[in-house]
Amino acid sequence: MRSQPYFHGIYPILATCFNKDESIDYKSQEKLINYCIDQGAHGLVTLANASEGHLLSDDEKMELLAFVIEKVKKRIPVIVTVNHPSAYCAVNMSRYAASKGADAVMCMPPFFGRWRAGLSEVETYFGMLNSALEIPIILQDHQLSDISLPVDFLAKLSHNLDNLKYIKLESGNIIHKGRELLAHPDSGLDGVFGGNSGVFLPEEYQAGCCGTMPACYMPEIFRNTWDLLADDHYQEAVSYFSGFSRLTAYEKDVANHCLWKEILKAKGVIAHATIRGPKPAFFNDWFVNQLFAVAKGAGLKV
């Protein structure tokens, strides 16, 4: 069993639970938090892309992150996403999250519409976050930003910024990039998280990644896989996870925009599968039934 950094393992991204009128359903939210913890999550992430964090008002974000941290009650770490194209706004949200007890913040490099930050701007942006905080920062290297972040740049950035301790990779060949980052002589990172719905969790673990941040509809499956990997049962982990890997790929590429909330509703974890509109055209009974068929084919009880 290899040693791991403080943040490691399975960190499901909490869905934001909505009532039918699209207001936040805090009763379901608390139930979802406890479900993830009971099913073995090592930590939780809130306000991320899969949380529909970009569809919440600032007041809702502040209220929700405080609620999540309060209900977790320090049982496991909570990471708060603070994405914003303005460093000033990201700093303010980060400080608020830290004041409420967040264990770390996660942030993509700044972008908006067709505007993309250059590397010097990315360096300044995360430097401002670093100066404002005493908790770890996780840089999310996501294809959504459309900003190329070279390994040398990320390694040196982590070396120069004391609080930039982790990177979540979701752009390009994350297995190759993860290995390069972890082996880089200038890296100040404690760990690298895999992303992309956790489709290749065993392979990411083999490459040295310290964990993954998947959607939250099957935390027990990810935890079981992680435990097999941590106990050096790699082939058993691959065999166990293979069917579920197909489900995660379907979730990422077909049932995206949180259609997978239907699984949580079917499990009785949340009251409604509502997303913040407008709904995509594929949100219909046919796709829900296909999602359930893929889930059941993988062995998930729905």
> Could you tell me the CA-to-CA distances from 199 to 1, 135, 214, 220 in Å, in that order?
22, 29, 9, 15
User: Percent of the chain having pLDDT more than 90?
Assistant: 93
Residue 259 covered by a domain: no
Query: Can you give the pLDDT at residue 208?
Result: 97
Residue 141 covered by a domain: yes
Alpha-carbon distance 149 to 2, whole Å? 28
Rounded to a whole number of angstroms, the CA Rg of the chain reads: 18
Question: At 59, is the pLDDT very low, low, confident or very high (cuts 50, 70, 90)?
Answer: very high
- Give me the mean pLDDT over the 228-238 stretch: 98
Residue 291 covered by a domain: no
Alpha-carbon distance 185 to 268, whole Å? 48
**Contact by Cβ (8 Å): 93, 84:** yes
Count of structural domains within the chain? 1
- Give me the mean pLDDT over the 194-210 stretch: 95
Distant-in-sequence, close-in-space partners of 126: CB < 8 Å, separation ≥ 6: 107, 109, 137, 139, 157, 161, 164
Distant-in-sequence, close-in-space partners of 211: CB < 8 Å, separation ≥ 6: 7, 8, 9, 10, 11, 42, 191, 193, 194, 226
* DSSP label of 260: T
Residue 84 covered by a domain: yes
Residue 1 has pLDDT above 70, yes or no: no
**Contact by Cβ (8 Å): 250, 291:** yes
Residue 115 covered by a domain: yes
First to last CA, the chain: 33
Question: At 58, is the pLDDT very low, low, confident or very high (cuts 50, 70, 90)?
Answer: very high
Residue 2 has pLDDT above 80, yes or no: no
Residue 23 in tokens: 């207001």
* DSSP label of 279: P
pLDDT, tens digit, for every residue of 107-140? 999 999 889 999 999 999 999 999 999 999 999 9
Nearest to 265 by CA among 233, 302, 228: 302
Alpha-carbon distance 128 to 249, whole Å? 36
Identify the domain containing residue 213 by its residue range: 9-241
CATH of the domain at 109: 3.20.20.70
| Element holding 4 (H helix, E strand) | none
Residue 79 has pLDDT above 90, yes or no: yes
- Give me the mean pLDDT over the 94-106 stretch: 98
**Contact by Cβ (8 Å): 85, 111:** yes
Residue 84 has pLDDT above 80, yes or no: yes
